[in-house]
A and B are shown apart, each in its own frame.
Chain A
Amino acid sequence: MQSVHIVSAYDEELKYLSKRIAAMGGHAERMVEQAIAALVNADPGLAQKVIRDDAVLDEGQREIDDKAIIIIAKRQPMATDLREIVGTIRISADLERVGDLAKNVAKRVVAVTDGRQPTSLFRGLEALANLALTQLKEVLDVYASRSVEKIGFVRDRDDQIDAMYTSLFRELLTYMMEDPRNITPCTHLLFCAKNIERIGDHATNIAETIYYIVTGEQLPAERPKGDKTDKIGLSETLPVK
């Protein structure tokens, strides 16, 4: 991936770091997938598995941190190598957060599925999760291929995720207004939706880090927030059908 170093062990160490990032990424993707599946299919067993799996990501992050610090101390990296190593630390932190968010979704499965909710709610959440997962997958693919020209696409997706999240927010408010008994599950679902939206944000962060690793420049800072839920009042919820 980079130019070859005189000390081949150095190359090995760098390769090992990116391999660990890929493994963590794969794990995070799988956790998000399973957390959503557990929620949609009301499967507490799968949710428990997701909660347990989070430990793997925590462990991965600790290992990458350690290894990266050792490499910096031992090899005194410069330029691309230094960016690569610092970027790795940042990406692993983002992935660890993604795992935490997936775990949080999984934790809510029991509370949400206590009473059966309208399927349309889950359909919206699933679509939101698909967007976030696609984004995560694309970003990690870019990490593998280093083709940063595709990064712009990631930001487009972020806008879509924000729009979808805003739409779900309104819908959930509507259900709560219809019937106070909906408030408990809908509040949980609202947090789930927020978590998924945050996963998208972490994916965007990772994209920015990759751009920095490869080009040495920061991605232009212009990133307007598309999440408009801060402006939704009672009057703007959907009409009750």
Chain B
Amino acid sequence: MADLDAEQKDTGQTIAARLWISRWLLMAGIVAVLAVYALAAISAYVVLAALLLLLAAATLPTTGARPSIESGAAIEAIGLQRLSGEYLAAAVADPLIIFDRTATIVHANAAAFAAFGGIAPGMSLSLKFRAPEMQALLDGVLSGDVASDVVDYTEKLPVERAYRVSASSVGHATDLYVLVFKDQSEARRIDRMRADFIANASHELRTPLASIAGFIETLRGPARNDPAARDQFLQIMQSQTGRMARLIDDLLSLSRLEMKPYLKPGTEVDLRETVDSVIDSLGPLARENSVAIERDYADGPLDVPGDRDELFQVFENLLENACKYGQSGGRVTVSIAHSDAGSEPGIDVTIRDFGPGIPEEHIPRITERFYRVDVETSRTQKGTGLGLSIVKHILTRHNARLSIKSELGKGAAFSVHLPTH
């Protein structure tokens, strides 16, 4: 009852306020009606009706000006409440997912879409994040046992990424929850890199180092006064140091790639121009090995999203391999073609040589670090065993695929499939 009274009182107040606001207009109206009554001979009832109409019009709520006067003072106080959750989520740089109490995704920000492909509103979170610790986190928060919780979550494939994930409920009784992913991959990867680098590099660097040490010993001992031998030894030592330098270059570029396995989006690369400049830069090597490079490009624009320098390195490594190991074939063909086969449209760049080919059993493994089909040939061709490893890393970053086809005695074809979007 008390509520009703208060409401009535409230209504009375608003009507009074409305009359006060339109008081000048009201008075002008009354004067006008009375003037008409005085000048023209019309019935008093009509005048009364006109006055009542005026009064009623004045008490009707006006929409335009009045609210702005009231809310103008309050806008700062409620501004934060009006802020859309979507805008707020978009402003957060870390992946952020809002979900309801059935663990269904309600909203995910752009960073979340970029980090975890294949999520969409309406999808179940517990189906996407299946790791036991994530299941426990979701169950804990949804059951209300804990208001918020934090776990470490690692994704091993396709590229290793580690997150510190925090889940918590939003506001009071909104039935909404939020999941925020803090990327910890960089730190984790640096630790791992250090261990890997030392293991791989020390093994590969030891061989040339051992031979240099051996020659130095010989030069200081038995060959001290033999200028012919000294010259020969120094030459060998020089080529060994060259090999070590190349190895270090490759290791460094590989480690740079591993440090940040995902790509900044946005830039487009013109494949035609890139491949052409690779062919130009490898011209001297091709002439030296007496290999002719033939081109076969598709018409139209050949642009793909990616990093030009990295793609340059991919084609450089592949073409260099083709010139070196397919030397006996005398020619190498480079073709660029649109491919719409399969689920994703893209552009295929194929580099084919006509050399001895690669035995089938090696094909699945040649992109492993330091894996060599033939150790002797690789050494004489100044290979480091890292070229294809680098290629594979770069392509993984571009969501691209490398497929290798080879028939013994007929050469090998390395085909790079780059998605166009």
Contact = CB atoms under 8 A, between A and B. Distances in A.
A127 interface: yes
A23 interface: yes
A220 interface: no
Majority-rule SS of A interface residues: helix
Given A18-B127, A29-B131, A160-B364, 12 more contacts: A15-B102, A22-B135, A26-B129, A124-B365, A141-B118, A144-B123, A145-B120, A145-B128, A153-B342, A153-B343, A163-B363, A167-B361
A208 to B, nearest CB: 17
A23 B156 contact: no
A134 B364 contact: no
Nearest to B365: A167
Interface in A1-36: 1, 15, 18-19, 22-23, 25-27, 29-30, 33
Contacts of A26: 129-132, 134-135
B130 A22 contact: yes
A11 B131 CA distance: 24
A90 B364 CA distance: 31
In the complex, the 3 A-B pairs of residues with the closest C-beta atoms, listed nearest first: A26-B130, A144-B127, A164-B364
Interface string B349-374: 00000000000111111001001000
22 contacts: A15-B102, A18-B124, A19-B127, A22-B124, A22-B126, A23-B126, A25-B130, A26-B132, A26-B135, A29-B131, A30-B132, A123-B368, A130-B157, A134-B158, A140-B130, A144-B118, A144-B123, A145-B119, A145-B128, A152-B342, A167-B361, A167-B363
Contacts of B342: 152-153
Contact of A15 (B123, B124, B128, B158): B124
A137 B118 contact: no
A15 B360 CA distance: 46
Interface residues of B, number: 30
Contacts of A15: 102, 124
Contacts of A124: 365, 368
Contacts of B17: none
Contacts, number: 84
Interface in B96-143: 102-103, 118-120, 123-124, 126-132, 134-135
Contacts of A140: 127, 130
Contact of B128 (A144, A149, A153): A144
B375 interface: yes
A133 B156 CA distance: 9
Nearest to A25: B130
A143 B127 contact: yes
Contacts of A1: 124
Interface in A218-235: none
Among B119, B120, B126: residue with most chain A CB under 10 A: B126
Nearest to B131: A26
Interface of A: 1, 15, 18-19, 22-23, 25-27, 29-30, 33, 120, 123-124, 127, 130, 133-134, 137, 140-141, 143-145, 147, 149-150, 152-153, 160, 163-164, 166-167, 170, 238, 241
Contact of B343 (A33, A152, A163, A238): A152
B102 to A, nearest CB: 7
A123 B119 CA distance: 32
Contacts of B126: 19, 22-23
B118 A164 contact: no
Given A23-B130, A144-B128, A153-B343, A238 B361 contact: yes
B321 to A, nearest CB: 19
B118 A147 contact: yes
Given A18-B124, A33-B156, A163-B363, A23 B368 contact: no
Contacts of B375: 241
Among B129, B156, B158, B361: residue with most chain A CB under 10 A: B361
Interface in B290-304: none
Among B120, B124, B130, B157: residue with most chain A CB under 10 A: B130
Contact of A30 (B119, B131, B158): B131
A160 B364 CA distance: 7
Nearest to A20: B126
A15 B128 CA distance: 14
Contacts of A120: 371
A15 B126 CA distance: 10
Contacts of B131: 26, 29-30
B182 to A, nearest CB: 21
Contacts of A18: 124, 127
Interface in B328-347: 342-343
A141 to B, nearest CB: 6
A33 B131 CA distance: 11
Given A23-B135, A26-B134, A127 B365 contact: yes
Among A22, A170, A238: residue with most chain B CB under 10 A: A22
A144 to B, nearest CB: 4
A134 B158 CA distance: 7
Given A19-B124, A19-B127, A166-B361, A145 B118 contact: yes
Nearest to B117: A141
Nearest to A144: B127
Contacts of B363: 163, 167
A19 B135 CA distance: 9
A163 B364 contact: yes
